[in-house]
Structure formats: C-alpha cells, structure tokens
Structure 1
C-alpha cells in the first residue's frame, strides 16, 4: 500500500522582461502542507486471497460464476486526529468503474471482475459512516447499503455536519472489506488457454 506525502509550501515568482519592453510577469505557486501527524493504512492477510485453480467445466456456460466472498480487515491508524481518505486504484485498468478487473484475456477483455463493499465501520469518533468522492473531494456522498467502492474513488469517513456530508477528523478506524468476485460466462473465455486471476488494486492514503 502507498501513503501520499504533502509538498513543502512555498511561492516562486518568475519575471519576464523582454529587452526594453515594459515588464510583465506570471506567477507560479507551489503549495501544500506538512501534517502534524502521520497515518498508516493496514490490511489483513497481506491483502491476498488465492482461489487456486478453477476448472473450466465448473463455470456457468452462459451466466456469471460467483466465487466465495473474501473478507479483509482494513484500517487506518493516525498519531492524532486527522483528515484523510483512501484512494482506490485498479492496477489493470485506469478508468472510473464500479468494479475491478480480474484476469485479462487481452488488453480490452477480461475473465471477470470483483466488487468491494465496506461493512462494520468502527472508529474513535461515534456515529461515523463511509463517504465517497469521484471528483477529488470537491463533493461527497454517503455510501448506501450494498453500494460498492469503485475505482478512482476517494473514500473517507464523516458525520452529517450542518446538513452536509463531509469528512471528519479521525484518529483510528477499522472496517470489513468484502471482496466479491465473479467470472464471466464460459462461452466468452478462450478454450485451451490458462488465464490467471490477477486482480490487483492499490489503496493510497491521502491527507485532505
């Protein structure tokens, strides 16, 4: 897993003075912040689930085949209450999607996918719930029951404040991360080829 680090704040001015012409300028601002505390994400079982070898004969010919749901403990622990979120990346495909790719047949087709659900959130702040943003934190919405954590999505934890869903300061939080994989119909999978299930996701800690 990765943790992001904020850049050192500073400002730099570039002046452009062409020959005897009147001076003109453009501004470049380099901004950021040093956080007073550090946060560390963690996941149980090293974040690995292995379904072993699956026979082609056991797959549904025309419908999807669901694999057993796997559960991980996902947590974030900070030195002090902090504003943070976890950003989800699908290492197999870059676009915004509700599901993650599991096993590539070719660059544009895959053998199946998996969804991620968040349950049993426990934090040092009472009554928190999971919230998400798909526009870099400009807007936030609350996860509804059964809603999946999609790719390229910020997930944070908040409380309803003045009628708005916003992230809140949290020191420690843990939850159950449920992985729900499905394999596409057997008829869509090339015969005679061994195709690896190689779902790969990264959850990057970002300070808000």
Structure 2
C-alpha cells in the first residue's frame, strides 16, 4: 500500500454563463483564512506495507485469509497549535468489498473482474503534546464527532483528550496506524501467475 501526503486548498468557481438577465443583483462573498502556521506529516517506512510473497496454496479456498498485522508510525508537527483532521481517500475504492469501512487492494492484473481484498486501518497509542489522546471520527464534515479508532474512507479523523467531545489544537502528534489486510477467498481468484496486491490511498491533512 502506497502512502501519499498532501496539503491542499479548494477554490470554488461559480459559472454564470446564462444569458438570462434579472432586474436585481445578488452578492457573492468569498471567504477564507490565510494562516502563517502549518503542519507536516510523515509515515515510517515511507508509508509502505509490504507482505512479501504469499503462497497461493496457503490461502483459504472458501473464506477470506487474514495476513499478519502490520503497523506504521505517524508523526505530525505543527509550527503552532493547530486544529486539523486526517482523511483517508481510497485510490482503489472500486475494489473494496466494504468501501465505507475498508480500503481496496486493487484487482487481479490477469483477471480484471476479480477483486483481491481489503485493508482495514486504525489509530493506536496516540500522544499529542505528551498527553494521551483518543481518535475521533466525523462523517458529516465536522458537525458531530464520535470516539473511534477505525479509519474509514472519506471520514474526518481528529484527536482529543479522552472524554472530550471535540477535536483539540495540537502542536505535535505521534500515533501508530494498525493495518489488517485480508485477501478474498482463493476460489474466487485466478492464481496461475503472480498477482501483486495494489492497495493505494491518500492520507490528506486538512485544517479545521
């Protein structure tokens, strides 16, 4: 699974190409905040989880096969206390058996209709500015938050001290990401040749 880190901003463009003219005018406001502070994020191992070669005969024929759990260390450093969230965007969402909760592993290069499996991610042992933290998730753009370790695609993931209802400003965050990879049942896969696992996701850092 390849990791990409990306800081981004969004510009909304309004297209007013209609030839219909109204008698009244309407106002448009463009707002935002330019901040001198920023955050950088790094993952151990360049964000790569490598399961090596997996023998086809060792896969379960009728049920999914769980591969050994692996971990990555995530560090985020900010130049001042910042309120931020992380969002996992799945580059292989069309191959995930559960796109709302797990990231896809891609498709069989020799049989493109066959989906290889999925990887589930979760935060562990989070510390921010030397304080233990809980990870939190929001699926409604930050309107509400729930304590949750699992990293679901497209969900906002942030951090707070245990028991706090909202994300908190952080200067330095250290946490582990647990990765549980599962390969689909072997009888659903064509395994006459080597088949690469091809999971890929973007881990976006967004300022709240």
**What's the CA shift for 1:17?**
10
Preserved contact between residue 125 and residue 170 of structure 1 (Cα < 8 Å): no
Preserved contact between residue 126 and residue 175 of structure 2 (Cα < 8 Å): yes
Corresponding position: 1:97 with 2:100: yes
Partner in structure 1 of residue 34 of structure 2: 34
Partner in structure 2 of residue 54 of structure 1: 54
Relative to structure 2, which stretch is displaced further, 107-116 or 45-54? 107-116
Question: 5 Å matches for 1:38-117?
Answer: 38-93=38-93, 96-105=99-108, 109-117=114-122
RMSD of the alignment, in Å?
2.4
3-state DSSP of counterpart to 1:45: helix
3-state DSSP of counterpart to 2:150: coil
TM (normalized to structure 2)?
Answer: 0.83
CA distance 1:49–1:127, change in 2 (3 Å): closer
Structure 1 or 2: larger strand share?
Answer: 1
Partner in structure 1 of residue 173 of structure 2: 173
Q: Which has the larger radius of gyration?
A: 1
3-state DSSP of counterpart to 1:46: helix
Preserved contact between residue 83 and residue 170 of structure 2 (Cα < 8 Å): yes
Extract unaligned runs of 5+ from structure 2.
12-18
Relative to structure 2, which stretch is displaced further, 26-35 or 195-204? 26-35
Partner in structure 1 of residue 7 of structure 2: 3
**What's the CA shift for 1:115?**
0.5
Question: 5 Å matches for 1:154-173?
Answer: 154-159=156-161, 165-173=165-173
Partner in structure 2 of residue 10 of structure 1: none
TM (normalized to structure 1)?
Answer: 0.83
Corresponding position: 1:122 with 2:127: yes
Preserved contact between residue 134 and residue 162 of structure 2 (Cα < 8 Å): no
Extract unaligned runs of 5+ from structure 1.
8-15
**What's the CA shift for 1:155?**
0.6
3-state DSSP of counterpart to 2:172: strand
**What's the CA shift for 1:26?**
1.9
Preserved contact between residue 120 and residue 181 of structure 2 (Cα < 8 Å): yes
